[in-house]
A = this chain, B = another copy of it.
């Protein structure tokens, strides 16, 4: 990409090199400006491509972020899949789906890298916070028919983050080697109560 100011047009724009240039530009932008401060058109300008091409490749900002960070899920699709059948059993579906994502070694390492950097670097923490709040928690909250949906979703998120830290990052036993279905049975009801149950949130 010798000329960044004037987007090139033509068939080569759709190639693997272009895709890679967009992802590089996205990682740099997200790293510098956080999730909320990053715009598709700025990423497109940095990569020297038309913004329509970025949309064509990655849909919207959450799609670009998950691709740039190698997160093996689209949050909108994930939440839609989990909430499609209503609130009943949502807690168990949520744990089962997350464990299947994180137990998959190939998917696991870039996500662990992201968690590690969020734990140590304020910029990375803001980035993860923006993504998790906006794309996961608010979507889950929107699907919950109960008071204080944001706090409920955040409580459920805290239990999932704790399992990620304990099982995959610090690897505390016997949690690290527990069978997934044991954890689904143990943690599913916790998430279900946080999301839809009686949690006395007005203290």
Interface bits A86-124 vs B (CB < 8 Å: 1, else 0) = 000000000000000000000000000001111110000
Contact A163 B166 (CB under 8 A): no
How far is it, in angstroms, between the C-alpha of A167 and the C-alpha of B129 when the chains are bound? 11
5 A-B pairs with C-beta separation under 8 A:
A117-B120, A125-B170, A165-B165, A182-B203, A185-B199
A155 in the interface, Cβ–Cβ < 8 Å?
Answer: yes
What's the dominant secondary structure at chain A's contact region?
A: helix
CB within 8 Å for A129 and B185 given contacts A119-B120, A162-B159: no
How far is it, in angstroms, between the C-alpha of A161 and the C-alpha of B128 when the chains are bound? 17
Chain B residues, CB < 8 A from A162: 157-163, 165
How far is it, in angstroms, between the C-alpha of A133 and the C-alpha of B184 when the chains are bound? 22
